[in-house]
Structures are given as structure tokens and as C-alpha cells.
Amino acid sequence: MKLSKSQKIMRFFTSKERFAEIKKESIQWGFTCEECKERTSFWDIGGVRYKATGNPIMQFACPKCKVKRLQTINKLEEK
């Protein structure tokens, strides 16, 4: 998968180890589409969330069903 501009900037300005941490944590954040119930990580849509708190609400189109709506970004529960 291609990196987004923000992901490329993070890769350029951080060490390989730190970038791996950023990617790992960003993958843990995401949203669940209310239409198709598909879970999408923030990393997969080109975002970066590192050492983040809170659950922001942002507008995204679901990559699976293409429905555009406000989505609550939340962290996956660790199992």
C-alpha cells in the first residue's frame, strides 16, 4: 500500500524504529462504518495517530461501501 503525504513526512523525519511505532499505533485507531459494519484503520485511510487521546469525529467515506458520513475515530480494544 502506498503511503499518504503525512505518512511519508513522518517516515522522512523519524527513525525506522519510531516510524514502526507510529504505524503500529495508527493501525489501532479507526472507525466502524454504520452502513456495512466494516472496520477501517486510520492508517489505511492515510492518517497518523500517535500518542493520541480522545475520539474525534471526522468525515470519511467508507472504503468498502463508499458511503460518506461523520465517523467517530476510536481505538481498538486490546485482546
Question: Cell 458520513 maps to which residue?
Answer: 69
What are the extents of the domains in the chain? Answer: 5-75
Q: Is 76 helix (H, G, I), strand (E, B) or coil?
A: coil
pLDDT value for 78: 59
pLDDT digit string, tens, across residues 4-56? 999 999 999 999 999 999 999 999 999 999 899 999 999 999 999 999 899 99
pLDDT digit string, tens, across residues 49-79? 999 899 999 998 999 999 999 999 999 875 4
Q: Which phi and psi (to 5°) does residue 60 adopt?
A: -140, 155
Question: Cell 458511503 maps to which residue?
Answer: 67
